[in-house]
Each structure stands twice: as C-alpha cells, then as structure tokens.
Structure 1
Amino acid sequence: MSEPLIELKGISKSFGSSVILDQVNLTIYQGDALAIIGPSGTGKSTILRIIAGLLAPDAGEIYVQGKRRQGLIEDAEDPINIGMVFQQAALFDSLTVEENVGFLLFEHSKLGYRRIRELVEEKLEMVGLGGMSDRYPSQLSGGMRKRVSFARAIMSNPDSSQDTPEVLLYDEPTAGLDPIASTVIEDLVRQLQRQQGGCGSYVMVTHQDSTIRRTSDRIVFLYQGQIQWSGATSEIDTTDDPLVRQFFSASVTGPIHVVG
C-alpha cells in the first residue's frame, strides 16, 4: 500500500472514569472510503475529533502524511488539510449560505469579493444548491443544510494548495434525515469523492445501515474502546463475527450490551 495519509498509534482517551478509546490503531490511506461503525456512545465521534485535531488524546501518537502531530490543529498546521462535516451542519444562523460556504476565504484569504462569490457558487453547484447563495440556514431543509456544510468543507483557496482538503471527516451526515434525503446525501458523498474539486479520501462515522453500505468500501467496528473487527464492506453479510452479526441484525441478543 501507499504511505498512509493519517495514522493513529495506541490512541487512548478517557472522560472522567469512562474509558472511551483504549490503545486504538487506525490507518487511513489515499482514496479510502472508510466507515467507523459501532453502537452509540462507543467513541466514534471522539476518534473523528482526534483525527481532525480538535481533541487531544490522553496517550498515543498521530501521524499526518508521516509527520507526527504535536498538540491540536491550532498549535501547528498538519502537512495536509483535513475537512470536517459536523452532524448538525454547524452553520452560522446569522450568515447567508454564501457567507457560510465562503467563510474561511472571506476571513483568511486575500481574494476579492467577486472571486470568492464565484468559488462559492462553484461549490454550491457541486452539491446541487446552485442559486441558493442568498438564503439563510433557517430557510433550508435539514438535507439542504447538510449539503451547505459539504460545500463549506470542500472549499479551497486557489492561491494556496495547502488549504485544499485531502481528507473529509463525516460525523453522522444522514442522522435525522428521512430515507430519501439520506439517499441524496449518500450519493453526494460518493459524487464528491469522484468529482474534480471534491475530496478523494474520507472517513464516515455512522450507524445507519444504508449509509454504511452505500458510502464505504472499508469498515472498522468500534466497541468497548477498541477496534473489534475490520474488513471490506462487502464482507458484512458473510462474516461470522458475532458483533457485526448482532449490529446489522438489530438483535438485542448477543455480545453487544444493550442499555435498558
């Protein structure tokens, strides 16, 4: 395989007396469509925030394109840009769609207003929201807000290749959406992976069956702070692993502890 884009070695994280991650090893490669799955409350979003550099582990090492990360993303830039799509879209309610999508360029680039507007409209077209730049988040459906957050995540500065995202992190992008809206988002994830100007590598945190099957090529199963199973998405219906079998059958009987 090629050199990993991101590598986690022995990552541990606790909150109080609760051990969330326990010596987790994870490697992300160029072109990965990786899903991190498992029951609720098992640390899936925590590991995503650690990858993004928004949360520091208690122990372990993080390497980004072979360079060890020291501290959080605010302490030192990674060799590559890592974008994140949050579960609740995390848009600024007081800003228009254009201002949300172009936020980093408006705040941190020397590009002129007209050029930023062109780039924003280009990204909105990519996510199927052309002509929506003057809307506010409150005027959009849940699925549309998710797509705006996708456009913001893939926004790049043409004057700085360092600002172009190499990896996207998706935190439950279809949570709370109806099946049709979920399908739109799932298709968009794959489309952005293939499309020029999108992002060819991503990590998807989800527990929804259709999202797992339609957006991932590779899966790791996180439970009790550790990766208990990993394999190709095509293996989830044939593996004998009892955790995977229980998870996808939605059975209350099995090794996964059901909280009453």
Structure 2
Amino acid sequence: MTNEPLIELKGVSKSFGSNKVLDNIDLTIYRGEALGIIGPSGTGKSTILRVIAGLLLPDAGEIYVQGVRRKGLIEDGDETVGIGMVFQQAALFDSLTVEENVGFLLYQNSKMSRSRIRDLVHTKLEMVGLPGIGDLYPSELSGGMRKRVSFARAIMSNPDNDREGPEILLYDEPTAGLDPIASTVIEDLIRHLQQAQGVCSTYAIVTHQDSTIRRTADRVIFLYQGRVQWQGTVSEIDSTDHPLIRQFMSGSVQGPIQVVG
C-alpha cells in the first residue's frame, strides 16, 4: 500500500426521505489497500459503496478521484480511474450465458471480434477458478459460482484501452448467504485478485461476517448512525475498548447499538 489517496470523500451526506443514511462522512481509500467497511444493517454501508462507485449522487460533500473532484455520476465524467463493482446478489443477466455476462461490456462497447472477447473471458474465468463454464447459464451455477462469475465480470478490461480496466474493486457483502467453505473460497479469491498481476490491487469491501473481515481487510472503518465511529487495523479490533466495536463483534444485544425489532 502507498500513501497515495485514490478515492476521497469529504463531508459526504445522503438522505432517503427523512432517513439520513450518511452524515458528513470523510473517508480516504489509498492505492493498494484493502479497506473493510463494517457496521450494523441499515447504516449506509452499501450506500457509501454506490457513492464511491459514482452510481449515486450525494446530497452534500465532495468526492475526489486521484485528486480530481468528481462532477456528477460516473457516466457524466471522464475519470482516469476505473471502478469495478461486485454486487451482493451477483446481478448476473439470467438470459445470458456466463461468457456473455463476463464479456458484456466488451460486447456492447468495443469493436473486438467475438473470438477475441471469448478468449479474454476464458482467461478471467480461469483467474476466478471457473474454467470451461462459459456456455452455462447463471441458473446452472451454485451461489458461490455466481459470485465468482461476478468477480470475473468486474475485473474484465479492454486490453486496447488501459483506462477501461478497474483500478479499484468494490465488494458489497460478497460472502453473504454462502456456507463457511464457500465463503473461504471467496475470501481467498479476493486476496488472490489483489495480488495477481494485471488486476487492481485496491479494494473496499462491505461485510458482516467475522471471517471475511479478518481474512480480506487490512484497515477497517465502522459505520453507525451515518458516521464513521471507529477506524483501525484488523488486529486492533480485538484490542480496542470502543463500546460499538465490542458489542458488534460479540453479537451482544446489550450496548450502545440500538437493536431494531
């Protein structure tokens, strides 16, 4: 990891109706780091990922990408940093094959031949441990396999245009709904992709799972009531006396976190 800020959020706020989900948040993601974003449900973790990705406009505050202020949504500008997003439910197109899902952006936006795109898709599927499944449909895959296909799609890039490759990956609860073994496969894959040559080395991951926090994050921020309430390294999670962290990691219903329902 370097000390170079890749993404910076300054005073970012976001409300949905009367519900203030993000409240004047400052956050920096540094190039080469693995950032974990944790906190109770409904505290803005997925929202902050969508703001970072440029899929959602904040109501207030500023977002900087490599020091340049973003104006509007990701589609409105000409950013020099590619951002890949892995959604919680994989978000694959059911009517398309795995190959068509992974190569979707290239099929839509490039002039490459179908055979060349197919070769690129095959390479990405091999990287996520799923060679030879390009002709299958999402309905034929397990939950863990669908997650890995969504990883392959997120890291797909156009070799003829370096600016189209992702420099940061955003994972929204990538191990949600998976059994412990499938979760371990996904956790290992996240780290593998960070270290693989030609794949971006920076990511932010939203998760609730203890094993995923510990195995995929280096630095952690804790969101609650729309604010960053604590941040530190993974090792500091076990040594901090911060009451929010202690309650969250122990799963206790007693403490400052309000239990809903």
Give the TM interval when normalised to the shorter protein. Answer: over 0.9
Say yes or no: does 1:244 pair with 2:241.
no
Residue of structure 2 equivalent to 1:138: 139
- Figure out how many residues of one structure are paired with residues of the other and give that number: 260
Residue of structure 1 equivalent to 2:80: 79
**Secondary structure of 1:199's aligned partner:** coil
Deviation at 1:114, TM superposition (A): 1.2
Say yes or no: does 1:181 pair with 2:182.
yes
Deviation at 1:198, TM superposition (A): 2.1
Counterpart-to-counterpart distance in 2, 1:35 and 1:77: 27
Say yes or no: does 1:98 pair with 2:112.
no
1:67·1:79 contact (CA, 8 Å) conserved in 2?
no
Deviation at 1:44, TM superposition (A): 0.2
- 1:164-243 alignment, distance < 5 Å: 164-243=165-244
TM-score by length of 2: 0.98
1:85·1:170 contact (CA, 8 Å) conserved in 2?
yes
Residue of structure 2 equivalent to 1:117: 118
Deviation at 1:120, TM superposition (A): 0.3
After superposition, give the CA deviation of every residue in 1:77-123 in whole Å (9 maximum; x if it has no partner): 32210000000000000000000000011111111111111100000
* CA RMSD, Structure 1 to Structure 2 (Å): 0.7
**Secondary structure of 1:162's aligned partner:** helix
Identity of aligned residues (%): 74
**Secondary structure of 1:203's aligned partner:** strand
**Secondary structure of 2:76's aligned partner:** coil
Any unmatched runs of 5+ in structure 1?
none
Any unmatched runs of 5+ in structure 2?
none
Deviation at 1:3, TM superposition (A): 2.6
After superposition, give the CA deviation of every residue in 1:11-64 in whole Å (9 maximum; x if it has no partner): 000111111010000000111100000000000000000000000000000000
Structure 1 stretches of 4+ moved >2 Å: none
Counterpart-to-counterpart distance in 2, 1:85 and 1:15: 23
TM-score by length of 1: 0.99
After superposition, give the CA deviation of every residue in 1:130-171 in whole Å (9 maximum; x if it has no partner): 000000000000000000000000000000000110000000
